[in-house]
A and B are shown apart, each in its own frame.
Chain A
């Protein structure tokens, strides 16, 4: 199974870049194509007259096309009393347009064995289209129609509100989700990242049709949109097909005022939540860094050694392999657009919850206090740089990578630079960033457990 982390309920772009250390090109050992050749193959970028950025990569081996569209229309734009607005907007888009009913939309895309979905995240809303290449016209027709002509029928809104409320309830049944949500609330307070993307039971029913229409009108604009397309289509052909359908899409939208940064914790903040569960679900961490932090790469190598390297990490060695306390333990630095998060998450039997928390803190202290070993450093770099071919081996991986590179402004030469950025990191860098960006004394801790058995120190 995948590592459970605090962001698994929302679409966050870091997953593509962070856990996808994609891009080593300067790897003579691997005998891969030259950097230039690979970068060229990764995709071509153009800015359309409407302001939309289009990235295209031709892949002809399989007759499919996948497209990912990132629109700056995430939950961060929700008014505080309308938490869940971006999410509800995303849910409604596929539920009816001026010329198609909800059933006509789903039937049309499913008839050709394709898929079209819209999902809101904290920073962006993501539209994903997958079709056989012979059905590309139909797919693009539907994509354009749901973006440009949604009707927001009251009946459909009512349906989706009910479904979202059911989803909020069901989320409460998963102790890992509850822990992650409580952690975000502790860490971010009133900052939008402290709220769940889907909103809360009190806010969702208050969202009106006008709210949805205004949100759509304001934020679903081509100049706020990145479209990445990978597959069995040529660039001129695709550009032409898009022009026909999206040529009339008008730029616009408000200027975005960045929310004030979340407050830094002055001391440990602990939240415990009682549930009738067999395991304590623990999330511990603090603020991290954004994607443009110059220490980003050193932090990634450091975190790989600490808890990001899966089964080979220090946290896994200590808590899983040595103690047998947990099946899954890991750490992550998550660079969202306007604030970053560092978190450790694990699940362990209630009785040893406090011991496990102390073991996590001990590992955080150790990586701050002692330089990492040469072998550890070498292994981390070898994985981060050597695994990149696996991160580019399918159309769906490439399309997400292209979109993320554009979103974070990394440039298409990012793939050329990546292994250099990783390989220059030294043990001293790692200790320095560990001291600067890890703090075992000021953290947020959320524990969902049977508190009669799990004795959590305040």
Chain B
């Protein structure tokens, strides 16, 4: 059973938001499927600015309804960090017609599943239903877009839930603490520097008025995308969407711009976190452009060459040959509105240091800068990216999520051209982007140093036992 909300802040890893989405989506696939995707998506914009994407896909009698708002922690101010995520929680807490805590009850009573997630760049909601319940999802989403109450009485305990969520996801998970500090170090100025869930002091401090203002500013139809995919017909559904969503007024235009740009990095940054843990951890991240940049294709291929499985270079060299780590991986995180990060991560084996692992990883990065990758490696990476995309089409929920993420940060139509871009990548391109972006000066290295607190009496290894 899904629980309320997700923060897509990589489990331990770096790439804020969306490891999932990236790996599903940077690929575009087999020409037929890619082309047919572009043809299968019907796009329209309502008079109030709501973008509507419809994908008829009758292969299973189900439907996914998703609303993606173009707001995330990127749009926040210091002192109010995490408020997008707090608002996401409050979206389940009542309108004049749907009482507090009733939203999911209604969904489940109709055999549906719902959830939401917040990232640095967007906040997304979904309901999955048997196909004949599609209107329930649309009605619920239109209702809360227009009429969210944000009751004080519901807000206070929900804030406590978010505080517990932060403890669960971040405070007691060494890898996630390291990731948080790593991002705060890699970004000096841009709002990507703070966590999606927010700093603890900020979570404690929001007022209801803050939430109301955030909602009124960003939860407008002209800042959102509605996606429906599954077993329905467009001609039947579109008038209903028009009737439900068309009457919601536009928001106060223009939407606030995120002004701050991350200044170029001039020299390596290193940061250490000491925490109760068993083994060290290593993250290294590099500033890179997002999916709108021509280099994004080669960066994605590079991520697969380095980290796309057990036959990829980092695993082969650092895990298998040198036996320094139990895992080593790489990710390119391009699905962001602003330039984000390319990262590598590794977990040293017992007895090995983060520094040894770091040297081995950087040796591999130097190799990919020095010598072109082999033709077969290049082809393997492209095949992996293509097949990821084909597998994503097995699920209308995943397909709609891909469209939603791309549309929220740029334009879903880029998806349709993406595979072509991937196919054109040459070994020279991979070498060039590795050389250009994966430089020491553009790098932030974060290392977890495990500490062991002195065990309180009677509660040592591993703990005091009571009958």
What distance in Å separates the Cβ of B112 from its nearest Cβ neighbour in chain A? 7
Interface: A244 (CB within 8 A):
no
B156 touches which of A1, A281, A324 (Cβ 8 Å): A324
A162 touches which of B129, B278, B349, B380 (Cβ 8 Å): B349
What distance in Å separates the Cβ of B466 from its nearest Cβ neighbour in chain A? 4
A112 to B384, CA, bound (A): 7
Interface flags, B217-249, vs A, CB<8A=1, else 0: 000000000000000000000000000000000
B-side interface residues, number (CB < 8 Å): 88
A272 to B109, CA, bound (A): 39
What distance in Å separates the Cβ of B382 from its nearest Cβ neighbour in chain A? 9
Interface residues of A in 50-65 (CB under 8 A from B): 59, 61-64
What distance in Å separates the Cβ of B342 from its nearest Cβ neighbour in chain A? 20
Chain A residues whose C-beta falls within 8 Å of the C-beta of B384 in the assembled complex:
110, 113
Interface: A235 (CB within 8 A):
no
A393 touches which of B60, B105, B108, B390 (Cβ 8 Å): B60
What distance in Å separates the Cβ of A132 from its nearest Cβ neighbour in chain B? 6
Q: Is the CB of B159 within 8 A of A324?
A: yes
Q: Is the CB of A273 within 8 A of B459?
A: yes
Q: Is the CB of A64 within 8 A of B164?
A: no
Interface: B61 (CB within 8 A):
yes
What distance in Å separates the Cβ of A239 from its nearest Cβ neighbour in chain B? 23
Interface: B160 (CB within 8 A):
yes
Contact flag A310-B393 (CB < 8 Å), given A106-B309, A169-B279, A174-B173: no
Contact flag A327-B380 (CB < 8 Å), given A272-B463, A458-B466: no
Contact flag A458-B467 (CB < 8 Å), given A130-B391, A309-B1: yes
A169 to B452, CA, bound (A): 13
Q: Is the CB of B466 within 8 A of A272?
A: yes
A103 touches which of B1, B92, B311 (Cβ 8 Å): B311
Chain A residues whose C-beta falls within 8 Å of the C-beta of B316 in the assembled complex:
103
Q: Is the CB of A113 within 8 A of B349?
A: no
Contact flag A111-B60 (CB < 8 Å), given A279-B164, A394-B395: no
Interface residues of B in 327-377 (CB under 8 A from A): 347, 349-350, 376
Interface flags, B377-405, vs A, CB<8A=1, else 0: 00110011111101101111000000000
Q: Is the CB of A113 within 8 A of B383?
A: yes
Interface: B277 (CB within 8 A):
yes
Q: Considering only CB atoms, which chain B residue lies closest to A381 in the complex?
A: B109
Contact flag A312-B105 (CB < 8 Å), given A113-B387, A271-B466: yes
Interface residues of B in 269-296 (CB under 8 A from A): 276-279
Interface: B326 (CB within 8 A):
yes
B2-10, B260-268, B410-418: which lies at the interface? B2-10
Q: Is the CB of B3 within 8 A of A310?
A: yes
A167 to B327, CA, bound (A): 10
Q: Is the CB of B463 within 8 A of A30?
A: no
Q: Is the CB of A328 within 8 A of B311?
A: no
Interface residues of B in 44-96 (CB under 8 A from A): 59-62, 92
Contact flag A390-B62 (CB < 8 Å), given A62-B390, A173-B277, A173-B278: yes
Chain A residues whose C-beta falls within 8 Å of the C-beta of B312 in the assembled complex:
110
Q: Is the CB of A324 within 8 A of B467?
A: no
Q: Is the CB of A386 within 8 A of B111?
A: yes
Q: With a 10 A CB-CB cut-off, give which of A111, A165, A271 has the most chain B CB atoms.
A: A111
Q: Is the CB of B60 within 8 A of A107?
A: no
A254-262, A315-323, A409-417: which lies at the interface? A315-323
Q: Considering only CB atoms, which chain A residue lies closest to B392 in the complex?
A: A62
Q: Is the CB of B167 within 8 A of A390?
A: no
Q: Is the CB of A113 within 8 A of B111?
A: no
What distance in Å separates the Cβ of B434 from its nearest Cβ neighbour in chain A? 20
Q: Is the CB of B167 within 8 A of A349?
A: yes
Q: Is the CB of B3 within 8 A of A1?
A: yes
Q: Considering only CB atoms, which chain B residue lies closest to A174 in the complex?
A: B173
Q: Is the CB of B383 within 8 A of A112?
A: yes
Q: With a 10 A CB-CB cut-off, give which of B161, B349, B455 has the most chain A CB atoms.
A: B161
Q: Is the CB of A170 within 8 A of B279?
A: yes
Chain A residues whose C-beta falls within 8 Å of the C-beta of B466 in the assembled complex:
270-272, 458
Q: Considering only CB atoms, which chain B residue lies closest to A135 in the complex?
A: B387
Chain A residues whose C-beta falls within 8 Å of the C-beta of B453 in the assembled complex:
276
Contact flag A113-B386 (CB < 8 Å), given A30-B132, A312-B104: yes
Q: Is the CB of A326 within 8 A of B456?
A: no
Q: Is the CB of A383 within 8 A of B111?
A: yes
What distance in Å separates the Cβ of B194 from its nearest Cβ neighbour in chain A? 19
A61 to B376, CA, bound (A): 30
A276 to B387, CA, bound (A): 43
Q: Is the CB of A324 within 8 A of B393?
A: no
Chain B residues whose C-beta falls within 8 Å of the C-beta of A165 in the assembled complex:
350
Q: Is the CB of A102 within 8 A of B130?
A: no
Q: Is the CB of A277 within 8 A of B172?
A: yes
Q: Is the CB of A273 within 8 A of B462?
A: yes
Chain A residues whose C-beta falls within 8 Å of the C-beta of B1 in the assembled complex:
2-3, 19, 308-311, 330
Interface: A379 (CB within 8 A):
yes
Interface flags, A20-57, vs B, CB<8A=1, else 0: 00000000011111000000000000000000000000
What distance in Å separates the Cβ of A296 from its nearest Cβ neighbour in chain B? 18
Contact flag A451-B172 (CB < 8 Å), given A61-B59, A396-B394: no
A353 to B374, CA, bound (A): 56
Interface: B429 (CB within 8 A):
no
Q: Is the CB of B3 within 8 A of A162?
A: no
A-B CB contact pairs (8 Å), 28 listed: A3-B1, A32-B61, A110-B380, A113-B386, A114-B387, A159-B320, A162-B326, A163-B319, A163-B349, A166-B279, A271-B466, A274-B459, A277-B172, A278-B171, A311-B92, A321-B161, A323-B157, A328-B3, A328-B168, A347-B167, A347-B168, A348-B164, A386-B110, A388-B111, A389-B130, A390-B128, A393-B396, A451-B464
Across the A-B interface, the 6 shortest Cβ-Cβ residue pairs:
A386-B111, A113-B387, A324-B160, A273-B463, A310-B1, A274-B459
